[in-house]
Structure 1
Amino acid sequence: MSINESTHEADRALLDAFAAGTLSPEQWRQRNHVAVAFLLLEAYSFEEALDRVRAGIRATNAAHGVVESPTSGYNETTTVALLRIIDTVRRAYAETFPARTADEFCDRHPELMSHHILRLFYTPARRMDPAAKHRFVEPDLAPLPRLE
């Protein structure tokens, strides 16, 4: 899949709003985090998708006036870990439960809809450590899922 004319209209609109930083705080919830990640991972390499997610989160945070501090703002560990989990699920279920749209993917994977999902892998101290905001830190409770 690539992001082009065949991409579902609602998915294109979501990606455009995300890239522009125009999603409202009410729109920028876990489901849309997962939807955006799914769409970008379908269209780009993991690294390119990650770069686009980083840029979009920063644009959205700036548009909402989110202050960068030790306890708020962009967190590299949270972003990378969520993207790795979503990518693993996306690839593991692609043949059995293919999703044509972000909504289909989200509906088929309710396990990803909790904004507490990283609690299965990280203690609060590890994930919220100041170093984890700026660079990816591996989890301390359980390894992130991998699909070779």
Structure 2
Amino acid sequence: MTDFSPRLFASDAEIVHLGEGLLACSLAREDWTHEAHLAACLYLLTARPDVDVDAEIAGIISRFNESVGGVNDDANGYHDTITRAYVAGVRLFLRERPAGGLAERVNALLCSPMGRRDWPLGFYSRDRLFSVAARRGFVEPDRAPLPTMC
């Protein structure tokens, strides 16, 4: 595991800006950080019931990547397995902490095990997680099952 101090957020407005900016493809590329990914995910899951995260997240992130000049190929851009692992992690976190302001919950998420940059490696070997197959589509974990909502 690696030590990393996440950048925390000062206001709910920052979280709304990230979530809506992702949807509108209006964020600056440099704003799309690990912390922003998790903040936007929590925002979409809690504040945008009109967005079916499971069905739409791949298209949302892929469109954003392309809007800032990125590509979604075998080596860059959208990574389906990492994204879906973190969606599961954010849902797990929200089950444990369903109430509170956006910034308060996002900051707590970022400081939790589910917010760590290496959290998916608790479920996946490095080779499996960083494979082309895992980038292009969801692959099942090979170390431990991902948490579920059941």
**Superposed pair shares fold, TM > 0.5:** yes
TM-score (norm 2): 0.77
1:88-116 deviation digits (Å, cap 9, x = unpaired): 1112222xxx2221x11122221233322
Is the partner of 1:44 in helix, strand or coil? Answer: coil
**How many residues are aligned here?**
136
Asked if 1:14 corresponds to 2:14, the answer is no
Query: Between the two proteins, what is the percent identity of the paired residues?
Result: 25
How many angstroms apart in 1 are the aligned matches of 2:20 and 2:73?
A: 27
The residue aligned with 1:99 is 100
The residue aligned with 1:74 is 78
TM-score (norm 1): 0.78
The residue aligned with 1:4 is none
The amino acid of 1:106's aligned partner reads V
How many angstroms apart in 2 are the aligned matches of 1:118 and 1:27?
A: 22
Deviation at 1:37, TM superposition (A): 0.8
Deviation at 1:41, TM superposition (A): 1.1
Equivalent residue for 2:57, pick from 53, 63, 79 = 53
The residue aligned with 1:120 is 122
Runs of 4+ in 1 over 3 A off after TM superposition: 8-12
1:62-104 deviation digits (Å, cap 9, x = unpaired): 022223332212121111111011111112222xxx2221x11
The amino acid of 2:125's aligned partner reads T
Asked if 1:29 corresponds to 2:33, the answer is yes
1:94-143 deviation digits (Å, cap 9, x = unpaired): 2xxx2221x11122221233322212211121112222223211111121
The amino acid of 2:38's aligned partner reads V
RMSD: 2.1
How many angstroms apart in 1 are the aligned matches of 2:49 and 2:78?
A: 22
Unpaired runs of at least 5, structure 2: 1-11
1:21-44 deviation digits (Å, cap 9, x = unpaired): 222232111111111111111133
Is the partner of 1:26 in helix, strand or coil? Answer: helix
The residue aligned with 1:40 is 44
